Structure 1
Amino acid sequence: MESHKASIDFQVNRFKKEIFSNFDLYSSVSPSAYDTAWLAMIPDAYEHEMPMFKSCLDWILDNQKDLGFWGESDENGNPTLDCLPSTLACMVALKKWNIGSTNIDKGLGFMDAYVERLLTMYYEGFPRWFTIVFPAMLDLAMANGLHIVFPEKLEVLVMNIFSDRQQIAKEPVHKCQHPPLLSYLETLPMSYDVDHQDILKHLSEDGSLFHSPSATAQAFMLTKNNDCLAYLKSVVQTCPNGVPSIYPVDEELVKLIMVNHIERLGLSEHFNEEIEEILSQIHRNLGVEETWEMPAKLVPSLIYKEALAFRLLRMNGYHISSRRFCWFLQDKDIVMHIERSCIDFLSTMYCVYRATDIIFSGEDELEKARSFSRKILERAISLGTGLDNVVVFPNCQRMIGHELSLPWLARLDHLDHRMWIEANQTTPLCTGKASFYRLLCLNNRKLMQLAMDNYKFRQLIYMKELEQIIRWTKEWGLFNIGFGREKSTYCYFSFAASCSLPYNSDLRKIIAKSATVITVADDFYDMEGSLDELRSLTRAVQRWDGTGLTGAGKTIFDALHEFVRDTAAKHLSQKGSDITKYLQKCWGEIFDSWMKEAEWSKSRATPSTDEYLQKGMISIAAHILALTGSSFLNSSLPNEKLWNDQYHTLTKLLMVTTRLLNDIQSYQKEEEDGKMNMVLLYLKENPEADVKDSIAHIRDFLEAKKKELLEHVFRSGSNDLPASFKHLHLSCFNIFQMFFHSKNRFDSDTEMLHDIAKAIFVPIEVQKPQPLKILPLQPQPKKETLRVTARLNPHETTRIIACPNPHFTQHGSKSFMLKKMLARTVSKSSMGKMFVSPGPSLSFI
């Protein structure tokens, strides 16, 4: 065990030095093959036959993937949609300087083998950026003599992309919806008349065109503006190993994504100081005017960033208003745009939905944001095919489905960490001219290895501790007591998996033993003991003397007595104070509440709602778990304040919410057993109501109390409680929410077995990359093609597309349809003349 711990410590220190101590923003962000290619196309100011930025050309030569493409790949190493325009742009750059013929051939082979597979994944429609960029790169490739071969079945699809591009060019664009078309300057056809002065008017202070290296490269080639040149030189100097898709990079966004990734891997305990430093700086900057200008094209990432900051800051106890990211709901144009382009906003809405996990009372804006983001996510994943190829986090359909089906508070951290580790072969990425970055510092094998080792080490600890718990229950007669539920494994698993306590924490065993005693004793009062036996046991616990007890009552008391004695001794040794009397008093109160409920049950008495809830919030016994555990925390409260008769408001909220969670899922069983329950009490007090009405009423009350509980846990300054005390209460609530969210999982003998196995016994699984293989191409017969060309001004000619050449006059042929489409396009220009000329170009086969 010590060797495992030493290995983890070594890896943590290494990662701190590599990433946090010498954080290099631009080496952390993945280069964009597309933008690097555009900078590689710029000719030198003096030697026009040479590239101005030779390092960009060298990057293209050195960074072609094995399958022949340039650009981003998914978690299995397979090409994404981004790689189609990126590969075309890289081939054009090589062709322009007559270099890399082998690379070009390999790139053409990739296009032949994969273009159909990638394009047909998007039968519901392509992302806007792709519709703009892809046709332009096809035009540019053809203009440079690159013959792109498409299967005949893609004919209509490709023509539709060209047609959609023309529609986009005619659309009025709201600044908060789509990026201005000028931010795609390098893709605009000549029919989109761009005045040089218009370009210069839109340059940012740093000389860029919307912070886009590719657009700025085209702006410089058109205008020769010195500010553009200075910006481009700055990009290459700062990013010599390939330029990013956005420059400058938003450092805060990168750091937020990094913190989020580390937390979701289950590693935050190792980087507490580093995370605190990052979040505290970001929180300080909230009140400072932005010095980094957010381009209009980055509205999705602006919402993403603010939602991510909201969640991380609120989860870590910082005060932050929901208005930090809910502002977009007030803009009808943005809302409408998100609804129409749900795929483009998928990652953003995923982040918004997660941010709304932590809603306080009265935060209606967050409620609206949660409802809206859920609607968008449900609509997006219903589209199915292709989502993992377009979004900015891995295995998106699985992760979104998990998020929507199981609320955050009903999930266990340990299992969530496992899911994120198994899913994360890759990390947040950008696609084409989209809004996000792929973070190389997170796509780090060392970090993933640390996460896996950390998870495995915890499994070793949990297995050892679980054996000790089971051995203890057998030793004290609770394991085979002969009635009720044997749930020692459930009790240990649920708390161990609910929060990341230190490796050597006694809290897991203490709380597991408490929960095991509670389960056995509660069953004894519910189903086994006679009234006389129950009264004897209750009095024994209240006077803390088991004299005269026999049978199961004696077994329960003896186990409880030993547990309290051992727990108090540990506390005296570790904390220097004796909590024996506090534990005895609290347990006596719990046994008294069980006794009262047994009397109600056996006499068929019906208490009032207030009477029932007063006893029920004690009999659920959640508070004894939280308070006993809190006594051992490093920053625990004084004993007198921790165990006073009134309890803290937070403890009361835990008591009432866990009682209501249990009652909603247990009313049918308790009705059969003659026990009272909040659902049944409401029906008695409201004869006109049915069970659905009763459950709805209790859920509304529960939801309100849950928001209060979250507010006491996460709102800074709301109380004087230590953070560790508050989070332990939240973990206890989390356990009950997990057991009773949609059914009574605790009473099932099989419901939890799969989760227990994954949390403790089954080794973590990380899928090995499974890259697709290039299929051997069948030799195709040569076909004569026609190149359709549009003359858009008296001096320039642009090749648009080409098709096989049987008959232009035959209605219904692809040639005729293509001619009609091009005629519609060219007719928009008063200078347009269409003619046909022979030659190799883009063709359908």
Structure 2
Amino acid sequence: MFGKVRLSPSSYDTAWVAMVPSRGSLKEPLFPESVDWIMQNQHPNGSWGLSPSHPLLVKDSLSSTLACLLALQKWKVGEQLVQKGLDFIGSNQLYVNDKHQPSIGFDIVFPGMVSKAIELGLNLPLDNALVDIMLSNAEQKVKSFRDKSRIAYVAEAFGEAHSWKEVMTHQRSNGSLFNSPATTAASLIHLHDDKSVEYLRSLLNLQGKSDALSEFVDEENFFSTVGMQYTNTSTILELYKAAQIRIFQSEPILEKIHDWTRSFLNNELLTRAIYDERLRNEVEYALDFSIHNVDRFENRRSIDLYNADNFAMFKTSHRYDIPAFVFGAGVPVSIMGSFLHWRWKILTNAKPYTAKNFGYLRSIDTNVHLLLIRAFNDIPLLTSHIACITRWLKDTRMDQLGLDLHAFYSSYFVVASVHFSPELWDARNAWSKLAVIGTILDDMFDIDGPREELLNIIEMVEKWDEYSSVGYNSERNQIVFSALYDTINNDLAPKAFAHQGRCVKQHLINLNLAMIKCMLKEVDWWTEKLSPGIDEYLFNGTATIGCGIYSSVHFFLGTELAEDVLSSEEYANLYYYIGRVARPLNDYRSDERESVERKLNLCSLLVNQSNGSLAEEDARDEVRNIIESNRREVLRMMLQTHGSLVPKAVKESVWKLSKLCHYYYRRGDEFRTPESGKDDIKKIFYEPINLPQHPSKCF
């Protein structure tokens, strides 16, 4: 019904694949990329699996988590991840015997993995009586099987105590056992088979790079390969979107695909060849925004563009058997009638199981994510957060300093567009408050702040708890520093301690101190008419544009950040590249205004330092190249798994910041004057989504 479906990676299957040893050395994994994947995909609560918070998927999370722990323990890596995983299993062990948890094979496979864990020296936090009951029940259940293929299907539970040659009699033509990566991988642990290896490699190769699209490199080849009768505007639109994902400095295949699909779609609009209004709007949006999109904005727009009345009827209606849990209590499992009626039932009766984590919807087909459109209706929660920040502005007297309300709302919407889940309030709180303080400081340094005031602020931040030995030299400084001091000491630092299990107050102080010092350096460049080098200018601009204080949200994402991660070259590079996206974007869009004001700007610096060899428009082209080059580096680092120290949640956060910067600077400085983004902000934060009414032409 949904066409070709791409399944999400399975933690359980990946773990078993990760346990297969190399033929050359039993001490090394045959598929090290699977081990890397495990180390990058642990949930904040210590589990692995599809959805650890889903009430029906706890057993799935338990089996996936234990399998991943076996893999990590086998190769003696990820000690901290192992401990977090053990804690998750211990806190959820009561679900092991829960008969309401649907999980085929769990009663056999999980006890088998428990036995394997004991052999590997894993100290499982399970009650001894519970373990004894599990093992006894598993043994009785296996004895009750009359069909040997049922035993072979869960063969990974038995280890050495099994006839693997007999299991291999069930091997299929593609090299797999029951099309199960886990069972196939388990057989390879005990009995090598080239066809089985090839099967697993073929699955891993599905994640290859852009060469897989080489047959679509030009328009003529695309239509001759796919066939005109199987293609339409929607297909080419998706190909155009896929071509946006470029991570290397040279991606000729994707670049050519991007060029011809963009040209094709533009021509479809010009010739009015797209008759469906919603599809036409979607194409216009994709061409207009290109990479200037934000997931939550784009998903809301997809929901608005979805047309429940756009359906095709076959020769006769069909019966669709749909799992009962999709619909919830009181809704028939089987629905007779047209496909339209089936769609309507999904839209009106589906329960938003992932409403607390709408980001999960990004990986789901548009038709399916309509099941969960109620996840957007968290507007009262977000508006209450805005009210809290507004009260903070008044309590700290920051509202008396002439703060532009556009800047305040933009600051909140920036982080709320990315970290919008209810449980991420602390992340939104941290960014919103520090961004407001940073905006006021930027105005002081940028517009009318006497140098004495700026030096006074820096000295107080350096002294911090001993700031009274310095004293305020103006009422404005008293308001700003007091707000910063109280916010970090009494709000952000205690909350960060709860998330991280250690004090990170000095990190928060240092982020703000670095930003202020860089602001002062820009003042010196301007007043003394100095021309810094390009690298120095961009390094300094990374802090003044706010990338540094944005990193404060990482302490509140539910992922622990060890000191060696924060001081690592990888973490530094992540912000090196994002700074070279954000600052040039700002300069590119404000070049004309800043030229009039005679402020430093990357475009003017490039022209001045070229000794007349670079025209202004050429300089703007060079800035665009800098932006695109560093955008690709951010994406590459976000996707990197091998040898990565930085948690996945942190890298994804920085990548989303890159997308936000492209969105807010797509036509001008939307942080200051959010004119063209007002409609998106209104839709995302103020307009609830109404479920559709029952269609009139169901049958």
Compute the TM-score of the two structures, normalised by the length of structure 2: 0.60
Name which of 554, 571, 593 aligns with 1:669.
593
Q: In structure 2, what is the Cα distance between the partners aligned to 1:558 and 1:534?
A: 15
- What amino acid is the match of 1:402? Y
Q: In structure 2, what is the Cα distance between the partners aligned to 1:490 and 1:726?
A: 22
- Correspondence 1:737 to 2:657: no
Q: In structure 2, what is the Cα distance between the partners aligned to 1:539 and 1:401?
A: 52
**Would the aligned equivalents of 1:667 and 1:677 in 2 still touch at CA under 8 Å?**
yes
- What amino acid is the match of 1:671? S
**Would the aligned equivalents of 1:617 and 1:659 in 2 still touch at CA under 8 Å?**
yes
**Would the aligned equivalents of 1:663 and 1:679 in 2 still touch at CA under 8 Å?**
yes
- Correspondence 1:709 to 2:623: no
Q: In structure 2, what is the Cα distance between the partners aligned to 1:761 and 1:741?
A: 23
Structure 1 stretch 583-592 or stretch 728-737: which is displaced more? 728-737
Equivalent residue, structure 1, for 2:213: 325
**Would the aligned equivalents of 1:328 and 1:334 in 2 still touch at CA under 8 Å?**
yes
Equivalent residue, structure 1, for 2:619: 694
Alignment of 1:27-106 (within 5 A): 28=1
**Would the aligned equivalents of 1:679 and 1:694 in 2 still touch at CA under 8 Å?**
yes
- What amino acid is the match of 2:235? T
- What amino acid is the match of 1:759? I
- What amino acid is the match of 2:458? T
Alpha-carbon spacing, 1:652–1:254, altered in 2? closer, same or farther (3 Å): closer
**Would the aligned equivalents of 2:565 and 2:645 in 1 still touch at CA under 8 Å?**
no
Q: Deviations over 1:496-522 (max 9, x none)?
A: 113443545311111111211111111
**DSSP-derived class of the 1:689 partner:** coil
Q: Select the structure with the greater relative contact order (CA < 8 A; seq sep ≥ 6).
A: 1
**Would the aligned equivalents of 1:495 and 1:511 in 2 still touch at CA under 8 Å?**
yes
Q: In structure 2, what is the Cα distance between the partners aligned to 1:731 and 1:745?
A: 17
- Correspondence 1:402 to 2:285: yes
Name which of 421, 438, 446 aligns with 1:526.
446
Equivalent residue, structure 1, for 2:30: none
Q: Deviations over 1:550-606 (max 9, x none)?
A: 222222211111221121111223332111111112211111000010111122222
Equivalent residue, structure 2, for 1:459: 379
Q: In structure 2, what is the Cα distance between the partners aligned to 1:519 and 1:617?
A: 15
Name which of 422, 437, 448 aligns with 2:304.
422
**Would the aligned equivalents of 2:411 and 2:432 in 1 still touch at CA under 8 Å?**
yes
**Would the aligned equivalents of 1:483 and 1:528 in 2 still touch at CA under 8 Å?**
no
Alpha-carbon spacing, 1:330–1:611, altered in 2? closer, same or farther (3 Å): closer
Post-superposition shift, 1:734?
2.3
Post-superposition shift, 1:609?
1.8
- What amino acid is the match of 1:425? N
Q: In structure 2, what is the Cα distance between the partners aligned to 1:524 and 1:494?
A: 22
Alignment of 1:811-830 (within 5 A): none
Name which of 644, 651, 654 aligns with 2:575.
651
Equivalent residue, structure 1, for 2:644: 719
Q: Deviations over 1:618-641 (max 9, x none)?
A: 222213212x11122323320343
Alignment of 1:253-272 (within 5 A): 253=5
Q: Deviations over 1:64-105 (max 9, x none)?
A: xxxxxxxxxxxxxxxxxxxxxxxxxxxxxxxxxxxxxxxxxx
Q: In structure 1, what is the Cα distance between the partners aligned to 2:575 and 2:309?
A: 39
Post-superposition shift, 1:643?
5.0
Unmatched 5+ residue regions in structure 2?
A: 9-49, 69-172, 178-203, 321-338, 351-368
**Would the aligned equivalents of 1:319 and 1:716 in 2 still touch at CA under 8 Å?**
no
- What amino acid is the match of 1:360? I
Alignment of 1:540-619 (within 5 A): 540-544=460-464, 545=467, 547-549=470-472, 550-565=474-489, 566-619=491-544
**Would the aligned equivalents of 2:581 and 2:627 in 1 still touch at CA under 8 Å?**
yes
Alpha-carbon spacing, 1:273–1:375, altered in 2? closer, same or farther (3 Å): farther
**Would the aligned equivalents of 2:545 and 2:583 in 1 still touch at CA under 8 Å?**
yes
**DSSP-derived class of the 2:532 partner:** coil
- What amino acid is the match of 2:481? F
Alpha-carbon spacing, 1:641–1:333, altered in 2? closer, same or farther (3 Å): closer
- What amino acid is the match of 2:634? L
Alignment of 1:181-192 (within 5 A): none
Post-superposition shift, 1:719?
2.3
Q: In structure 2, what is the Cα distance between the partners aligned to 1:517 and 1:633?
A: 22
Q: Deviations over 1:518-565 (max 9, x none)?
A: 111111110020112112112222222264222222222111112211
Alpha-carbon spacing, 1:606–1:696, altered in 2? closer, same or farther (3 Å): same
Alpha-carbon spacing, 1:683–1:766, altered in 2? closer, same or farther (3 Å): farther
- What amino acid is the match of 1:348? T
Alpha-carbon spacing, 1:646–1:419, altered in 2? closer, same or farther (3 Å): closer
Q: In structure 2, what is the Cα distance between the partners aligned to 1:318 and 1:521?
A: 49
**DSSP-derived class of the 1:586 partner:** helix
**Would the aligned equivalents of 2:376 and 2:688 in 1 still touch at CA under 8 Å?**
no
Equivalent residue, structure 2, for 1:350: 237
Post-superposition shift, 1:652?
1.5
- What amino acid is the match of 1:346? T
Post-superposition shift, 1:365?
1.1
Q: In structure 1, what is the Cα distance between the partners aligned to 2:210 and 2:509?
A: 44
Alignment of 1:826-841 (within 5 A): none
Post-superposition shift, 1:355?
1.3
Equivalent residue, structure 2, for 1:761: 686
- What amino acid is the match of 1:548? G
- Correspondence 1:632 to 2:556: yes
Alpha-carbon spacing, 1:442–1:657, altered in 2? closer, same or farther (3 Å): farther
Post-superposition shift, 1:756?
2.2
Q: In structure 2, what is the Cα distance between the partners aligned to 1:589 and 1:571?
A: 20
- What amino acid is the match of 2:623? I
- Correspondence 1:487 to 2:487: no
**Would the aligned equivalents of 1:670 and 1:677 in 2 still touch at CA under 8 Å?**
yes
**Would the aligned equivalents of 1:582 and 1:643 in 2 still touch at CA under 8 Å?**
no
**Would the aligned equivalents of 1:631 and 1:639 in 2 still touch at CA under 8 Å?**
no
RMSD (CA atoms): 3.9
Post-superposition shift, 1:477?
2.1
Alpha-carbon spacing, 1:769–1:701, altered in 2? closer, same or farther (3 Å): farther
Post-superposition shift, 1:751?
4.1
Q: In structure 2, what is the Cα distance between the partners aligned to 1:642 and 1:429?
A: 52
Alpha-carbon spacing, 1:473–1:539, altered in 2? closer, same or farther (3 Å): same
Post-superposition shift, 1:336?
6.0
- What amino acid is the match of 1:358? I
Structure that is richer in helix per residue: 2
**Would the aligned equivalents of 2:574 and 2:634 in 1 still touch at CA under 8 Å?**
yes
- What amino acid is the match of 1:633? L
Q: Deviations over 1:385-417 (max 9, x none)?
A: 6632xxxxx921111111111024x22222222
Post-superposition shift, 1:718?
6.1
Alpha-carbon spacing, 1:507–1:681, altered in 2? closer, same or farther (3 Å): same
Equivalent residue, structure 1, for 2:584: 660
Post-superposition shift, 1:418?
1.8
**Would the aligned equivalents of 1:470 and 1:489 in 2 still touch at CA under 8 Å?**
no
Post-superposition shift, 1:376?
1.9
**Would the aligned equivalents of 2:664 and 2:670 in 1 still touch at CA under 8 Å?**
yes
- Correspondence 1:372 to 2:244: no
What count of residue pairs does the alignment treat as equivalent?
Answer: 471
Q: Deviations over 1:42-71 (max 9, x none)?
A: xxxxxxxxxxxxxxxxxxxxxxxxxxxxxx
Alignment of 1:156-305 (within 5 A): 252-253=4-5
Q: Deviations over 1:265-289 (max 9, x none)?
A: xx99987979999xx9xxxxxx969
Q: In structure 1, what is the Cα distance between the partners aligned to 2:644 and 2:417?
A: 27
**Greater Rg by CA:** 1
